[in-house]
């Protein structure tokens, strides 16, 4: 095997960790990071030296789970060494980009900010939160991001955001990054320059986002392509650490981890679908919305999936605080009646789901440790 991709070690071959993990709201969770940095909220995530630093750089790697980094430490030795010094933290539920990045930048749980999944029910139809489209239509004008997601990002404090230039005017950017100083990059080699410029400009927080690892995992899974992409993440992190002033902390974290789903998607049976008015969420935390008066019947019909998934009525999800301790009226109205959450390496689909998502290999959204545990490491 090419040396750049490394060779398997004892850690590389560790078994998957599929135990159920719920978000640690109020503790070691991504929701604690920004309030600890920008609002003076006491949290064990932010040490006193980091809290008092004039500038902090946060590098957010989409799809970098704690377990995946640990297994591939030979490809990312600097990141892995930093990871070893700090216990993992949890992301939120569902462990999906739209929900988790919004929780990371706002410090709010999904039940507060209201972006409760990749696909969210709205008055205009099922919203794809990353593309800000509903019913195949761009709804940026008709569904303003600050109305759907009212929590102000970055605690209302000045922050510089370094992300893909193409994201500048997206609806999701307006939902989770509005009010920040946008610095767009088009090529990977521009990221460090953008970060260094923002640090020189004196921003308290520089929030840098890199999504290639997640894209590669979706398309190719966690094999050689993923490992090569992780090696690129290591190079970026080392470049940033080398070029930043010594008194500027560099924190590396993520929005979620990833699992490989190699089995065919589990299609929801027509007789189950007939008991619904629709669905929302994602393949590894699928919400089914019951027809009026059919909530109990729907939950019973879903028992056919009990061998492979947790069947959670919305009352259980709320009681166990999957999405947060305090639930806004808007967020509650966007939840379905039954959530299907695979325990293993499966994913659900509905008969009317858009087909491009059926071929994904790397997936997330569920409650396994592989998806829920992410690094929060200082370089």
Question: Phi and psi at residue 333, in whole multiples of 5°?
Answer: -70, -15
C-alpha angle with apex 169: 148 to 105, nearest 5 degrees? 55
Is 99 in the same domain as 26? yes
Is 195 in the same domain as 48? yes
Is 282 in the same domain as 175? no
Is 96 in the same domain as 25? yes
Sequence-separated (6 or more) residues with CB below 8 Å from residue 227: 5, 6, 72, 75
Question: In the prediction, which pLDDT does 276 show?
Answer: 97
Is 244 in the same domain as 275? no
Beta strands in 16-110 (DSSP E): 56-61, 89-90
Is 183 in the same domain as 248? yes
Q: What percentage of residues in the chain have a pLDDT greater than 70?
A: 95
The CATH number for 302's domain is 3.30.1360.180
Q: How many angstroms separate the CA atoms of 111 and 273, rounded? A: 26
Question: In the prediction, which pLDDT does 2 show?
Answer: 31
pLDDT above 90: residue 357: no
- DSSP one-letter code for 188: G
- DSSP one-letter code for 322: S
Is 71 in the same domain as 212? yes
Is 41 in the same domain as 171? yes
pLDDT above 80: residue 364: yes
Q: What is the mean pLDDT of residues 206-220?
A: 98
Model confidence at 135, pLDDT cuts 50, 70, 90, reads confident
Is 145 in the same domain as 52? yes
For residue 208, list its beta bridge partners.
59, 162
Three-class SS of residue 65? coil
| 3 state SS for 100-113 | HHHHHHHCCCHHHH
Is 222 in the same domain as 350? no
Q: Which residue range is the domain that position 38 belongs to?
A: 3-259+368-378
Model confidence at 149, pLDDT cuts 50, 70, 90, reads very high
Q: Are 365 and 285 in contact (CB under 8 A)?
A: yes
Domains of the chain: total:
2
Summary mean pLDDT of the chain: 94
The CATH number for 147's domain is 3.40.720.10
Q: How many angstroms separate the CA atoms of 369 and 367, rounded? A: 7
pLDDT in tens, 318-355: 999 999 999 999 999 999 999 999 999 999 998 866 65
Question: In the prediction, which pLDDT does 247 show?
Answer: 94
Is 313 in the same domain as 338? yes
pLDDT in tens, 40-53: 999 999 999 999 99
Is 136 in the same domain as 95? yes
pLDDT above 60: residue 76: yes
pLDDT in tens, 151-200: 999 999 999 999 999 999 999 999 999 999 999 999 999 999 999 999 99
């Amino acid at each position: 095997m090419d040396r750049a991709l490394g060779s398997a070690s004892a850690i590389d071959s560790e078994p998957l960790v599929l135990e159920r993990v719920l978000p640690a709201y109020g503790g070691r969770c991504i929701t604690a990071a920004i309030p600890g940095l920008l609002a003076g909220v006491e949290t064990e995530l932010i040490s006193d030296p980091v809290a008092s630093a004039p500038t902090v750089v946060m590098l957010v790697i989409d799809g970098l789970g704690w377990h995946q980094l640990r297994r591939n430490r030979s490809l990312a030795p600097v990141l892995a060494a930093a990871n070893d010094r700090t216990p993992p933290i949890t992301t939120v539920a569902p462990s999906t980009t739209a929900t988790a990045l919004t929780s990371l930048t706002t410090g709010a749980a999904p039940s507060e900010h209201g972006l409760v999944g990749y696909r969210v029910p709205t008055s205009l139809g099922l919203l794809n939160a990353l593309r800000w489209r509903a019913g195949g239509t761009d709804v940026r004008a008709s569904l303003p991001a600050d109305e759907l997601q009212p929590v102000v990002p970055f605690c209302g404090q000045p922050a510089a955001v370094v992300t893909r230039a193409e994201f500048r005017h997206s609806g999701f950017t307006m939902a989770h990054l509005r009010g920040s100083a946008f610095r767009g990059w088009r090529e990977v080699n521009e990221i460090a320059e953008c970060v260094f410029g923002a640090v020189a400009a004196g921003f308290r927080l520089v929030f840098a986002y890199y999504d290639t690892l997640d894209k590669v995992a979706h398309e190719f899974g966690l094999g050689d392509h993923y490992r090569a992409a992780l090696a690129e993440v290591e190079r970026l992190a080392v470049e940033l650490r080398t070029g930043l002033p010594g008194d500027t902390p560099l924190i590396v974290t993520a929005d979620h981890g990833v699992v490989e789903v190699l089995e065919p998607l589990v299609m929801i049976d027509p007789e189950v679908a007939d008991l619904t008015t629709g669905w929302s969420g994602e393949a590894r935390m699928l919400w089914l919305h019951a027809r009026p008066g059919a909530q109990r019947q729907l939950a019973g019909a879903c028992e056919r999936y009990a061998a492979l998934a947790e069947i959670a009525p919305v009352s259980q999800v709320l009681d166990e605080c999957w999405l947060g301790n305090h639930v806004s009226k808007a967020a509650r109205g966007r939840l379905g009646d039954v959530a299907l959450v695979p325990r293993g390496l499966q994913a659900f689909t509905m008969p009317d789901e858009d087909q491009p998502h059926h071929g994904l290999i790397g997936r997330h959204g569920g409650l396994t440790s592989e998806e829920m545990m992410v690094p929060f490491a200082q370089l």
